[in-house]
Structure 1
Amino acid sequence: MSAALLVLLTYILFFLVCLVRYTSYHLRVDLQIDSFYQIIFNLQMGMEGGEDVWKDAAIGFFNHYGPALAIMGILALFAFILCLKNGIEVFRLKREYRKLSLNQKKAHKAWLIGSLACTIGFASVLGITSLRELNRLGYFRYMELQNSDSNFYEANYVNPYDVNITFPVKKKNLVYIFMESMERSYSDPEHGGFYEGNLIPELTKLSLEKGEDFGDGKQLSGAVTTVSSTWTAAALVTQTTGSPLVYVDPHEGGNGYWDDSETPFLKNLKSLGNILQDNGYNNSFICGSLGTYAGRQNFFEQHGDYAFYDIETAREDGITPTKDYNVFWGMEDKYLFDYAKKIITQEAAKNEPFNVSMLTVDTHFPHGYLCEECPDPNSDPKFNGEQIKAVISCSDKQVSDFVDWIYQQPFGKDTVTVLVGDHANMSADLTAQMQGYGRQVYFTIINGPEYHGRVKKYSTLDMFPTTVAALGATIQGNRLGLGTNLYSNEFTLYESLGLSSLNEQIPAASDYYIHEILGMESSEQGDNGQPKGRK
């Protein structure tokens, strides 16, 4: 009987080995997660609104390991039956006080030793596999940084509460479009991109002819993304606060990352929304998915009192075809832009300055959402039959058409439009194709101040002060958070420290980050006066 149980345990261990290997593969390759911070942030936040991610992961797991699990299951079942049969026979003979023959003893012992050896072997494999995959996911580096000590934030972070910001009497409106996974890489080499067939001709033209991206005017420039700003929730925080979203356990650090409207989310951060609200702006945010996903609604409502619009309000407002409409992450971008036009028109009618920010979704990995307005992936050689490329091309036209609409409206002349990718595309196929290429997210400002300075190297941390300056505001010192106003002559942290150094120092343990940025109270410190969970 014990041998049969060992066989069952061995199969469970084999299943766990497969699960650990696939989980690591899925996170690193399919989801392109590049830091352990992102993993624990999403685990803490939950997956409301992103249930398809789990479904896709489960399907992928059984596609990868289903045959192996089936074969191993058949072998394990066969061994289990034989062991069980042998065990029952031994038990029966012992119960009848009959002696086991030498062959029976040898057979029983062989089954027991063999089963035990397999169990120990797979337990060892599980342990080794777990350690290896944790290392691949950056767990040990994460722990090393948690037990380090850094003064990076003390030396480089400029608290917006301490900065004098002066807006002009006549304020400009702001439309800020976070474009899902939009990169300058999608353009052609002639314009600084990667692909021979330009996937974003309209955005390329928009930036080089009408926009400002702080490049040389001949090729697209773009922003790099630092560690802890490489997924959407982190990108939204980074670009609007100049601070990356470094994870600290909310139960020990009190940062309110989880979806709880009564819990402060990064309560000490002063964001773009806060600054605009203080200067008489009405803030709105629009997305086509559930606002509660990854705490987005919580963050924007607490930092600038944004009116928040998502798939649920879109259904209520008659934007979607039906009241229960649901495709991809909620609704596709063509409805998002319809919704944005309605909201912007309403805001403009108030004759007060407005900030309408929005997040597109159709270009979300792995393949994007091919709406009815998108070209067939096989209709153009530059798509190479790949759906994601056709969707990128479709998004290029949709965004460009929307920008054209803005400047056809009466309020257009008084409106600044910021177009920026939230992070690099996480598609495993595109990542493999662009191996070795210096990827940057797309960025341009329409109808902002003229710029005649040097070519800049910058990150998404710099979006915060640059957006404020684009509205005509004067920033004392030209720095906010870890960001630098690109319209100024100041060097960005990317220029002065380099990307590698930034990525090393940003996630290092910092008392300043916990107290001054996250706003952890002194009562949440450990007995030694240090923050719990951090050195």
Structure 2
Amino acid sequence: MILAYIPVFVCLTLLVSAKWSFSYFGLSCFEQIIFHLKVPLEGTNTEFITDWIKKCGIKALGLTIIVYFIQSWFFPHPFVFILCAASLIWAAHTVGMFEWIINQFRKTDLYETYFVDTNTVKMTFPEKKQNLIYIFVESLETTYTSKENGGDYPEDLIPRLSRLGKEHLNFSHQEQLGGAHVLAGTGWTTGGIVAQTSGVGLTVPLTSHRFKEGVPFLEKTKTLQDILHEEGYQQEFCIGSQAAFGGRKFYFDTHGPVKIFDYNTVKNQLPANYPVFWGFEDEKLFAYAKEEITKMASKDQPFHFSMLTVDTHHPKGYKDRHYQNQYPERLSNIIHESDRKIGEFIQWIQAQPFYKDTTIVICGDHTSMAEEYISHTYDPSYDRTTFNTIIHAKNKPKQNKNRKFTSFDFFPTVLSAMGVKIEGDRLGFGTNLFSDQKTIPEKIGYKRFDKELRKQSKYYWEHIL
């Protein structure tokens, strides 16, 4: 008799987990789940397993026991089957599965109409090539700056980044500090990085098998790394976790070559109590970054160094030895400390001999997935965007305020910031924000763009994957 309630436990677990996943992970779309089912998950922070057991496993078990007694005393046997069916339907609805299934049968001509194949675009680099340092900051939002600066926190959690944005260049959706909107296929780390460096989203078809180990990642797509490789750049990607997680290593292995510096690179040199959080913390990441950049700068070739921070990762962030309890929320304090580290790192770069020939890009990889923190701390009506600033750009924008733009637009924009001339000022779904060209959202709006990205495209299969 008790064994008959195992399906009930499974169904209730799925129901509870579906609700929990959105509050814990802040899932941006069901495509995010499909993508992560297809890529390596090694190096995942295991803290979420403990939290899942506490908040989902135990709760589902308790509900199953309650159902057992209720059914035994009051209801006929079919109640169990109705409950299971209802739980499965509600769980699928909660994670957006039904909408995703419908979109598998919808077709779009978005790619044929607006997508520009980077392989066909002529680009001209300046005679003196700029180095590029690209800092992807985990979950960095404009939201974290003060309301006075265009954010939604009473004080400025990111004063150093805000100052850099004002002193240098910030592309904004408003008159104050602002940033890019995140659309389908770009709302998690790999999706955000790929969008910013290729102009392509990761709206992966269910039947695609092109994200497995040894299989080229977006083989037909020409990326920032491919372009810089052709121009003789040294390239490195530095990260404090295992680069294989989420397919990041596959992406950089396919497009480049790009040297990978991750947790596995230095794990034998770390203290016995490691890994911590996702691998090693940002304090070590910035120290390693200084060493690696110094090595690259000592060579005759121009260099492209990109890195991804981790301390502000959802759901709770990482408290290192510099953590100070200055604000009511744990993550607010971690964000503030991350701002201090990034500010110090930028000061170090600016003091180096190579700075005069270097463009620096700081950008959030996506908006935060720390749903509980966001919903309890900020106004739900606030228009959330990823923060950005470009330092030492070799170009001046015609309009950098009150723009409608997305993660895709950083691809041509970063190249333009390096002094590269791009024929047509379009690459992938991206538009060069330094130019007078309208972005796709400025032509058709965010809502329609996002809706079309979720549909199926023959072009995506044949020319991008």
Q: If the TM-score is normalised by the length of the shorter chain, which range does it land in?
A: over 0.9
Q: Could you tell me which residue of structure 1 aligns to residue 265 of structure 2?
A: 313
Residue 458 of structure 1 deviates from its aligned partner by 1.2
Percent identity among equivalent residues?
33
Rg bigger for which structure? 1
After the TM superposition, which parts of structure 1 deviate over 4 Å for at least 4 consecutive aligned residues?
Answer: 69-73, 114-118
Residue in 1 that maps onto 2:422:
475
| Residue in 2 that maps onto 1:253 | 208
Deviation string, structure 1 residues 36-93 (Cα, Å, up to 9, x no partner): 11111112224211151334323321353454455567x59xx9xxxxxxxxxxxxxx
1:117, distance to aligned residue in structure 2 (A): 5.8
- Answer yes or no: is 1:155 the counterpart of 2:150: no
CA contact (8 A) 1:13 1:119 kept: no
**Aligned residue number for residue 494 of structure 1:** 441
Which of the numbers 59, 64, 76 marks the counterpart of 1:64? 59
Judge conservation of contact 1:208–1:219 (CA < 8 Å) in 2.
no
Task: Name 1:449's counterpart in structure 2.
Answer: 394
Letter in 2 for 1:231: W
- Give the whole-Å Cα distance in 2 for the aligned partners of 1:393 and 1:116: 55
State the match for 2:224 in structure 1: 272
Which amino acid in structure 2 is aligned with residue 264 of structure 1? P
Q: 1:217 to 1:169 in 2, by over 3 A?
A: farther
Q: Which moved more, 1:119-128 or 1:495-504?
A: 119-128
Does residue 353 of the first structure (1) align with residue 302 of the second (2)? yes
- Structure 2 alignment gaps of length 5 or more: none
CA distance in 2, matches of 1:66, 1:125: 15
Q: How many angstroms apart in 2 are the aligned matches of 1:217 and 1:60?
A: 39
Q: Equivalent residue of 1:253, what SS? A: coil
1:137 maps to: 95
Q: Which amino acid aligns with 2:112?
A: E
Structure 1 runs not aligned, ≥5 long: 80-113, 519-535
Aligned match of 2:234:
282
Distance 1:273 1:452, change over 3 A: closer
In the TM superposition, residue 116 of structure 1 has moved relative to its aligned partner by 12
User: What are the within-5 Å matches in structure 2 for residues 296-375 of structure 1?
Assistant: 296-316=248-268, 318=269, 320=270, 322=271, 325-375=274-324
1:388 aligns with 2:331: yes
Matched with 1:420 is: 363
Q: Structure 1 residues 451, 166: CA separation in 2 closer, same or farther (over 3 Å shift)?
A: same
1:451 to partner: Cα distance? 2.4
Q: CA deviation at 1:472?
A: 0.6
Q: Indicate if the aligned counterparts of 2:142 and 2:177 stay in contact, CA closer than 8 A.
A: yes
Contact 1:183 1:425 in 2 (8 A): yes
Bigger Cα displacement from structure 2, 300-309 vs 448-457: 448-457
What is aligned with 1:527?
Answer: none
Partner of 2:24: 30
Matched, 1:429 2:429: no
Contact 1:45–1:257 (8 Å) recurs in 2: yes
In the alignment, structure 1 residue 263 sits paired with structure 2 residue 215? yes
Give the number of aligned pairs.
Answer: 460
TM-score of the pair, normalised by structure 1: 0.82
Letter in 2 for 1:269: T
Give per-residue Cα distances to partners, 1:318-349, cap 9 Å, x unaligned.
4x3x2662100000000000010010000001
- Higher mean alpha-carbon deviation, 59-68 vs 24-33, is at 59-68
Partner of 1:233: 190
Q: Aligned with 1:126: secondary structure?
A: helix
CA distance in 2, matches of 1:276, 1:429: 40
Aligned to 1:532: none
Give 1:169's aligned residue: 127
